[in-house]
Every structure is written in structure tokens, then in C-alpha cells.
Structure 1
Amino acid sequence: MTRNTRSKPFSEINVTPFVDVMLVLLIIFMVTAPLLTVGVQVDLPETNADTLQSDNEPLEVTIDASGNIFIQETEIGISELVPKMKAITENRLDTKIYVRGDEAIDYGQIMMVLGELSGSGFTKVALITKPLSK
């Protein structure tokens, strides 16, 4: 009995380096993903109201503790609010708009923004709060 001792070339792919790279990428994405959702920092007031269910992505108007107004994450003045909102929504006045106001600011500033939006014809404007801690 003679054995075939001729060596054949090894033709399998070594996947260990590939798995190492994929694990490193996974860790990088897991660390950076929470950072992508950070917007303008505000402390929302608490309430026991029910959560709103949304089908499409609403626009967010934020008022920070200093009284600065932001659309999404872009700072604007109160006089620019309505023209920019109409331009962004392409005059669709039924677009959902969520207003987030820091709990430290005067209620009058929030009402001024809500009044500007409602007075210009936007019909779906809501005030965002955080759930009441139990």
C-alpha cells in the first residue's frame, strides 16, 4: 500500500483577519451610534401625558435654557422661524412640528414660539415633555 505523499496547495481562505476587522468595526459603530442622536441639550419638563405616535418624522423646534431657538440643530431668530419652517415644509401646513422647551426658560417664550407657528397656519404643533418619573 503506497500512500500518495504528493502535497496539494492549501486553497482555503483564512477568515480570522476578516472576523477581527468586522469585530473592531462593530465596536466602533456601537460606541459612536449613541453620539449621533445628540441634539441641542435641553431639560424637558415632566408630565404624565401619553406618548404621541408618529408615522413620519416631525420637525423639531427647540428652545434652550438661554432662550435661543433652533430648527432641528440650526440656531435661528424668532423673526426667521415662520419663513424657514414654510420653506422646509414646502408650505404643507399639516406637517407635524414638535416644540421642545427647556424647563428653565420662561413659559412666555414657549408660548411666543407656539403662537408664531399656530398663527402662521401650522395645524399640527405639539409641546414635547418627558414622562413623569415615578
Structure 2
Amino acid sequence: MASGIFHRKRHKLKSEINVVPYIDVMLVLLVIFMVTAPLLTLSVDVKLPSSTAKALDSKQEPIIVIAYPDGRFGLQLPGDKQPRQVDEAGLATLLAPIREQQGNDLRVLLAGDGEAPYQRVIDATEALKKAKVTNVVLWTKQ
């Protein structure tokens, strides 16, 4: 007998992950996100509301408060041709004695400038609340 001993080579098991399918999936997801990202809406344009309602008839002219975008307020009293510029504290100070004189009959129209953020209108309502004005109407375009 020949001394022919056969030795089998042992193959080591490879413990590697096949990453080719994962790369394919990642490329497909990348393409999907690249296509959909420009379609996302990041901001919304808001138009101020308008109304077709008719103004209430009243014996006295209302007081008009205007909220401007730069933080100022305009106060137009009956008989004034132009609104006077006031700040939030000045608005409450000027309206408090008028409200005490006229009582609950005092009507105030609150208008927001088209460029003003809505926070300015809320600030105006807070000033009217400090002056204890309860009859406030939001003024819209007609």
C-alpha cells in the first residue's frame, strides 16, 4: 500500500454579510427622497379674510384701532381725519377714560394691517382688555 494519505483541506467558513442588496435599497431610497424633497411645502401664504356683511348702523362713530406690522398702533377717535400713533400702553391709557364716559355703548373696530402678523392684533386686544373695552369688532376688507 502506498503511503498516499489524502489530506483534505478544510475550508474556513466566511462570516461576511453580502452588502450589495443593502446598497441597492439605499440608492432607491436616496432617489425617492431626492424626488420628494422639493415637493414639500415649507410655508403657507395666508390671506386676510374679507366680508360682505354690512356695517351696523349706530348713532355714534366707532373708535378705530389699527395694528401695524412694526409694532405701532393707530388710534382714530371720532372726528379725527388720520389715526394717531400710539404704543400698547398709550392705547389702554387713552381708551380707559372714554370707556368710563360712554360705558358699554363704546364700539371699537380693530383692524390689522395686511402686512402685520396676527400677534399684533392679539396685542391690540390685550390693550383693549386692559382698558375694559368689551364691545370690539374685527374689521375686515369689504
- Superposition TM-score, scaled by structure 1 size: 0.56
Is 1:76 aligned with 2:79?
no
Is 1:66 aligned with 2:76?
no
Deviation at 1:63, TM superposition (A): 1.7
**56, 63, 69: which is aligned to 1:53?**
56
Name the residue aligned to 2:19.
Answer: none
Which protein has greater RCO, CA pairs closer than 8 Å, 6+ apart? 1
Q: 4+ residue stretches of structure 1 with deviation over 4 A?
A: none
Q: Kindly tell me the number of residue pairs found equivalent between the two proteins.
A: 88
Q: Provide the alpha-carbon RMSD of the alignment.
A: 2.2
In the alignment, the residues of structure 1 paired with residue 74 and residue 51 of structure 2 have an alpha-carbon distance, to the nearest angstrom, of: 26
**Contact residue 69 and residue 120 of structure 2 kept, 8 A:** no
User: Which amino acid in 2 is paired with 1:107?
Assistant: Y
Name the residue aligned to 1:101.
Answer: 112
Is 1:111 aligned with 2:111?
no
**Contact residue 118 and residue 125 of structure 1 kept, 8 A:** no
Point out the structure with max Rg over C-alpha.
2
User: Which amino acid in 2 is paired with 1:98?
Assistant: L
User: Which amino acid in 2 is paired with 1:92?
Assistant: Q
In percent, how many aligned pairs have the same letter?
A: 19
In the alignment, the residues of structure 1 paired with residue 140 and residue 122 of structure 2 have an alpha-carbon distance, to the nearest angstrom, of: 15
- Superposition TM-score, scaled by structure 2 size: 0.53
Query: Secondary structure, in 3 states, of the residue corresponding to 2:128?
Result: helix
